[in-house]
Structure 1
Amino acid sequence: MGDEPEAIELPRSDLLLLRLLAEGLSPDEVACRMGLSGRTVRRRVRGICDRLGVATPIQAVVWAVRQEMI
């Protein structure tokens, strides 16, 4: 993973979403905690992955941890 994205700003709500995924919650559990639908959470996760240039939610979580954002 040598081509990691440079410093990218993520909104607090996206960081919360990634933090909850990092804690092991499913997208539906994250949705319940954040008062969103499961579909909305999945769409937001896809958007985060696209912005970060990663393929999976796990890679997005790893990126955020390495950037010390979560």
Structure 2
Amino acid sequence: MRRRHECETPGWQPSELDVEILRLLSRGLTTDAIARRVGVSERTVRRRLRATADEIGVESSIEAVVHAVRIGLI
């Protein structure tokens, strides 16, 4: 059984915060609402989403959410 943050994308080890951001984005929250919910700035949310998308090789945060769903991360 896979641990919570082990995933099928080689080299990608998402943090708890990254997973929570993806989870909240998948539920339709805005970056501002996500920032308030997790206690960081909106800029931090946007930066983490961009870094996640870059790391897994997709073009957008929505594609990152789709990827996370496909691999069972969220």
Question: Would you identify which runs of 4 or more consecutive aligned residues in structure 1 move more than 2 Å?
Answer: 5-9
Stretches of structure 1 that go unaligned for 5 or more consecutive residues are: none
CA distance in 2 between counterparts of 1:35 and 1:16 reads 12
Matches for 1:15-30 after TM superposition, within 5 Å: 15-30=19-34
TM score, norm. by length of structure 1: 0.87
Structure 2: state its 5+ residue gaps. Answer: 1-7
Quick one: percent identity of the two aligned structures? 45
The aligned runs of 1:1-70 (5 Å cut-off) are 6-7=9-10, 8-70=12-74
Aligned residues: 66
Shift of 1:9: 2.3
